[in-house]
């Protein structure tokens, strides 16, 4: 089978960029994030409140509260915040409602409301870690560094809380002109596993902020050695070099970043936009921006499912402290994509404007999300506009081709893939997926010779690409061409992906077409086990049963296939098989 086994081509770079964004050990931080922070977020924001939480409340108050519960269950965080907040006005002493309102406000990015509620939450729950963090951020925005230091210096449980508090304390002390105290706060993290990159990076940033240039340069070099040339550290050091008139050194740094992080748009932007500035502002110009950087770095390392709520909280706080933090928006949107909240992700991407180095990349991702939401035409509109302004971007043309293909606009898809292929050097392994995608588009447009040529070109670059082997081999079987080679291709594809029921179906159907009915039955039975809900796989097994004389079993499989919402063109054929048998109908309508 080729329709179901087809895989969409994706060359979006977001995950790669986010992996480069932090010098933290993801595994170590993910492990220690499962502390009181996770407990507060998980048990309050995710679990439903008790049914008697507002016992004795008025009908209107209870209705608003229930509306909040419904919005929360639907994942509509902003609506839930509003409903809970309205209810809290009439039930200000309800501790559960207070904490839920606070947490939903924080998760939804309503930080002004969350900051206002944080003190009340701490009054009833002194160990509430999210409330302490929000309170510290609120103090920082007011430049009340003494309050931020006092709260961040309080004893904390767990390595994760300690890390967050030390970053906060360091920048608050920097804001108070206590640079040595700030550095001492960071130095206290020296023995904490997995945080060297972040510690060294913030040491460099604080020294740069303080104007201690010689020490800052030494620290930047140590940070780059520990973290590599990720976008944030490279930009910070590159700006430092440019401000000191060292244009060639900055250029060399950006060129190194481009070599080491292929596909990252930052280095290209730095070469074209940052270097001409000659005297750009530092990456960090205030303690608030420094803390935003730290919260982002921690969030970027939290990639396990348990830590999603913590990462979202940290990123919302980072954006509250630094609204122009585009890479923070990218990471926040990617967290919502992982939760399949594509509309929320796209609303976040909408805050990234054309001057940003991440604009094109996020427009591509937003268009892909439109397709996931069943709105491919919206994505096509986005990508057409982007391709007009950036016609050289192969990723844009690839995504546009994918959206055309997903909406059965195969002629347009092939034309988009033409543009994508034209922008990639011959022999580049990215061409494997593009030749395959264009080949599918050609085949669906009744341009078989062009499709066959593309599939063969893909296999020349990567002879072990299972989906291409499957598509070409199956097509040859259907056309009665190159039968021995086609079977070998399909068997190889199955060996490469033994748990793929659709490839197993292709192999079984090839045996059927060649008259190897016993082999077909054995293979198609395995295919049905691997893809039990696929109508055409069940139909193929029914055909094979018929050919070996198991006619009752055949009719059972056809009935099963008919109940699985088959292709509209196949439905009447299945009905005829059930009524008259396979001998009166060509196999599967062929």
Q: What is the pLDDT of residues 372-404, one digit of tens each?
A: 999 999 999 999 999 999 898 899 999 999 999
| Rounded CA separation 115/100 (Å) | 14
On whether residue 314 sits in a domain, the answer given is no
User: Are 435 and 486 part of one and the same domain?
Assistant: no
**What is the residue range of 244's domain?**
16-291
Residue-wise pLDDT for 226-258, tens only, equals 999 999 999 999 999 999 999 999 999 999 999
User: Are 148 and 229 part of one and the same domain?
Assistant: yes
Please identify, among 265, 291, 317, the residue that sits at the C-terminal boundary of a domain: 291
User: Are 127 and 52 part of one and the same domain?
Assistant: yes
User: Are 451 and 468 part of one and the same domain?
Assistant: no
Residue-wise pLDDT for 180-233, tens only, equals 999 999 999 998 888 999 999 999 999 999 999 999 999 999 999 999 999 999
User: pTM here?
Assistant: 0.83
Cβ–Cβ < 8 Å for 364, 349: no
Report, in angstroms and rounded to the nearest whole number, the Rg of the chain calculated over CA atoms.
29
Percent of the chain at pLDDT > 90 equals: 73
User: Are 393 and 481 part of one and the same domain?
Assistant: no
User: Are 200 and 64 part of one and the same domain?
Assistant: yes
Give how many domains the chain has, as a whole number. Answer: 3
User: Are 482 and 590 part of one and the same domain?
Assistant: yes
On whether residue 169 sits in a domain, the answer given is yes
Interhelix angle for 111-124 vs 129-141, to 10°? 130
On whether residue 429 sits in a domain, the answer given is yes
Residue-wise pLDDT for 460-496, tens only, equals 999 999 999 999 999 999 999 999 999 999 999 999 9
Mean pLDDT rounded to a whole number for the chain: 88
State the DSSP string of 345-402. Answer: HHHHHTT--TTSTTHHHHHHHHHHHHHHTT-HHHHHHHHHHHHHH-TT-HHHHHHHHH
On whether residue 316 sits in a domain, the answer given is no
| Rounded CA separation 351/325 (Å) | 10
At residue 352 the predicted structure's pLDDT band, cuts being 50, 70 and 90, is: very high
On whether residue 363 sits in a domain, the answer given is no
Interhelix angle for 326-338 vs 308-321, to 10°? 160
- For residue 582, count CB atoms less than 10 angstroms from its CB and return exposed for 0-12, middle for 13-18, buried for 19 or more: buried
Higher pLDDT, 534 or 87: 534
| Rounded CA separation 479/168 (Å) | 67
Please identify, among 462, 488, 508, the residue that sits at the C-terminal boundary of a domain: 462
Is residue 355 predicted with pLDDT exceeding 60? yes
pLDDT value for 427: 87
Residue-wise pLDDT for 39-67, tens only, equals 555 544 445 555 455 544 555 677 787 88
pLDDT value for 135: 96
pLDDT value for 19: 47
Q: What is the CATH number of the domain that holds 198?
A: 1.25.40.10
User: Are 456 and 529 part of one and the same domain?
Assistant: no
Please identify, among 422, 447, 462, the residue that sits at the C-terminal boundary of a domain: 462
């Amino acid at each position: 089978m080729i329709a179901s086994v087809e895989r969409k081509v994706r060359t979006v770079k977001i995950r790669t960029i986010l992996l480069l964004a932090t010098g933290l050990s993801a595994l170590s931080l993910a492990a220690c994030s499962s502390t009181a922070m996770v407990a507060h977020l998980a048990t309050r924001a995710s679990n439903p409140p008790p049914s008697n939480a507002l016992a004795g409340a008025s009908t209107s108050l209870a209705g608003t509260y229930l509306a909040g519960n419904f919005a929360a269950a639907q994942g509509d965080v902003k609506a839930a915040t509003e409903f809970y907040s309205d209810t809290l006005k009439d039930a200000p002493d309800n501790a559960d409602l207070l904490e839920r309102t606070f947490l939903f406000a924080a998760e939804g990015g309503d930080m002004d409301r969350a900051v206002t509620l944080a003190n009340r939450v701490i009054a009833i729950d002194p160990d509430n870690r999210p409330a302490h963090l929000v309170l510290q951020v609120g103090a920082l925005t007011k430049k009340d560094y003494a309050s931020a230091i006092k709260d961040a210096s309080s004893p904390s449980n767990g390595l994760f809380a300690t890390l967050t508090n030390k970053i906060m304390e360091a920048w608050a002390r920097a804001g108070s002109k206590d640079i040595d105290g700030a550095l001492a706060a960071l130095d206290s993290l020296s023995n904490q596993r997995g945080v060297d990159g972040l510690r060294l990076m913030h040491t460099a940033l604080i020294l740069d902020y303080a104007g201690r240039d010689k020490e800052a340069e030494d620290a930047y070099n140590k940070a780059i050695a520990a973290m590599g040339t990720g976008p944030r550290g490279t930009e910070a050091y590159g700006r430092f070099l440019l401000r000191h008139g060292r244009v060639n050194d900055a250029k060399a740094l950006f060129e190194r970043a481009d070599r080491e992080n292929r596909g990252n748009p930052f280095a290209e932007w730095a070469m074209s936009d940052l270097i001409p500035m000659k005297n750009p502002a530092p990456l960090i110009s205030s303690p608030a921006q420094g803390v935003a950087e730290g919260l982002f770095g921690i969030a970027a390392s939290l990639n396990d499912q348990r830590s999603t709520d913590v990462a979202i909280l940290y990123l919302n706080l980072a954006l509250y402290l630094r609204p122009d933090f585009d890479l923070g928006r990218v990471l926040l949107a990617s967290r919502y994509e992982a939760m399949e909240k594509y509309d929320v992700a796209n609303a976040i991407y909408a805050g990234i404007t054309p001057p940003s180095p991440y604009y094109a990349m996020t427009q591509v991702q937003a268009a892909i999300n439109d397709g996931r939401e069943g709105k491919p035409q919206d994505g096509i509109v986005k990508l057409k506009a982007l391709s007009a302004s950036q016609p050289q971007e192969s990723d844009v043309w690839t995504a546009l081709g994918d959206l055309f293909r997903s909406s059965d606009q195969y002629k347009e898809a092939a034309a988009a893939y033409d543009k994508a292929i034209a922008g990639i050097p011959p022999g580049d392994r990215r061409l494997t997926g593009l030749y395959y995608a264009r080949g599918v588009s050609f085949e669906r447009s009744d341009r078989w010779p062009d499709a066959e040529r593309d599939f063969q070109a893909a296999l020349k670059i990567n002879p072990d690409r299972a989906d291409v082997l499957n598509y070409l081999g199956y097509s040859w079987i259907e056309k009665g061409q190159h039968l021995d080679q086609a079977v070998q291709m399909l068997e190889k594809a199955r060996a490469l992906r033994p748990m793929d029921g659709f490839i197993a179906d292709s192999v079984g159907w090839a045996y059927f077409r060649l008259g190897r009915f016993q082999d077909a039955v054995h293979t198609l039975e395995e295919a049905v086990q691997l893809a039990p809900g696929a109508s055409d796989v069940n139909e193929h097994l029914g055909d094979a049963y018929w050919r070996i004389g198991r006619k009752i079993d055949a009719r059972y499989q056809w009935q099963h296939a008919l109940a699985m919402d088959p292709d509209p063109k196949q439905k009447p054929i299945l009905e005829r098989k059930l009524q008259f048998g396979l001998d009166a109908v060509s196999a599967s309508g062929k």
